[in-house]
Amino acid sequence: MRVLAMESAGPRCSVALLEDGVVAASATRDGAMGHASTLPTLLEQVLGRGSLDAVAVGIGPGGFTGLRAGIALAQGLALARGVALLGVSTGQALAAQAAPPTGRAIWAVLDSKRGHLFLERPGNPAQAFAETDLPRPECPVWLVGDGAARAASRLLARGAPVALGGPVLAHAVGVGLAACAMLRGELPSGAAEPLYIDPPATT
């Protein structure tokens, strides 16, 4: 099973090729701008020859332009190859990359860049919360994402059983791992459509 994965929702643009759930190749470029021109270059470095069984793409929450660029490229590639197309949320990608201690659930917390946080918990869609309104977990939780430090500070002050972990930024490897779990039936399949919580900050 060969899965090509792309992530361009945040300030990291990346592409990865997974074969039977193992990373065969990956390429990354950090930077908040230029994802539309960077993705094809990274794709050339990673894809090479050979067939694909699925294409996976990060669907956010994230930046409007980066999301659109990644999803459009993934749609075109999947259509041209005649393979399945899967959408993976930023929280799912972060969770797939994480290695929490045994017994800790993973909560992905993202900085909305508008003063609040996006929280994605297992089995729940991403939601927006003010820092002061974050729900208190009842079980031990491992916080990941670029908003995790802010969330940890608030929740630890309330005596919540949380620990600050990693990763901070999603990568195409996490997108690919989550997509492989979808193909195995371990996660529900996601549509390749942008996941917006706040209205896009564009006109």
For residues 152-163, average pLDDT = 96
Q: Which two tokens stand for residue 95?
A: 């969770």
- Which alpha helices (H) appear in the chain, and where do they start and end? 35-47, 64-81, 90-97, 148-157, 172-183
What are the residues whose beta carbons fall under 8 Å from the beta carbon of 113, sequence distance 6 or more?
none
Local confidence band at 64 (pLDDT 50, 70, 90 cut-offs)? confident
Identify whether the C-beta of residue 45 lies closer than 8 Å to the C-beta of residue 17.
Answer: no
Q: What dihedral angle (degrees, nearest 10) is formed by the CA atoms of 184, 189, 193, 198?
A: -110
Can you give the pLDDT at residue 116?
93
Can you give the pLDDT at residue 146?
95
Can you give the pLDDT at residue 199?
64
What are the residues whose beta carbons fall under 8 Å from the beta carbon of 202, sequence distance 6 or more?
64, 65
The answer as to whether 201 is a domain residue is no
Regarding whether 75 and 48 lie in a shared domain, the answer is yes
Local confidence band at 37 (pLDDT 50, 70, 90 cut-offs)? confident
The answer as to whether 115 is a domain residue is yes
Identify whether the C-beta of residue 179 lies closer than 8 Å to the C-beta of residue 191.
Answer: no
Question: What range defines the domain where residue 40 resides?
Answer: 2-90+170-183
Can you give the pLDDT at residue 39?
93
- Which alpha helices (H) appear in 48-171, and where do they start and end? 64-81, 90-97, 148-157
For residues 166-190, average pLDDT = 96
Regarding whether 115 and 66 lie in a shared domain, the answer is no
Regarding whether 51 and 104 lie in a shared domain, the answer is no
Q: Is pLDDT at 137 greater than 60 in this prediction?
A: yes
Regarding whether 108 and 84 lie in a shared domain, the answer is no
For residues 171-192, average pLDDT = 96
What are the residues whose beta carbons fall under 8 Å from the beta carbon of 167, sequence distance 6 or more?
94, 97, 98, 144, 145, 174
Burial of 151 (0-12, 13-18, 19+ CB in 10 A): buried
Regarding whether 85 and 6 lie in a shared domain, the answer is yes
Pick from 44, 53, 77: nearest CA to 2 = 53
Work out the number of other CB atoms within 10 angstroms of the CB of residue 48. Answer: 9
The answer as to whether 195 is a domain residue is no
Provide the 8-state DSSP code for 124. Answer: S
Can you give the pLDDT at residue 201?
53
Q: Is pLDDT at 200 greater than 60 in this prediction?
A: no
Which of 17-26, 32-41, 82-91, 177-186 shows the lowest mean pLDDT across its residues?
Answer: 32-41
Regarding whether 27 and 41 lie in a shared domain, the answer is yes
The answer as to whether 179 is a domain residue is yes
Instruction: Give the max Cα distance, the chain.
Output: 53
Q: Is pLDDT at 4 greater than 70 in this prediction?
A: yes
Can you give the pLDDT at residue 198?
77
Distances (CA, A) of 92 to 76, 89, 160: 23, 5, 23
Q: What percent of the chain has pLDDT over 70?
A: 97
For residues 63-70, average pLDDT = 89
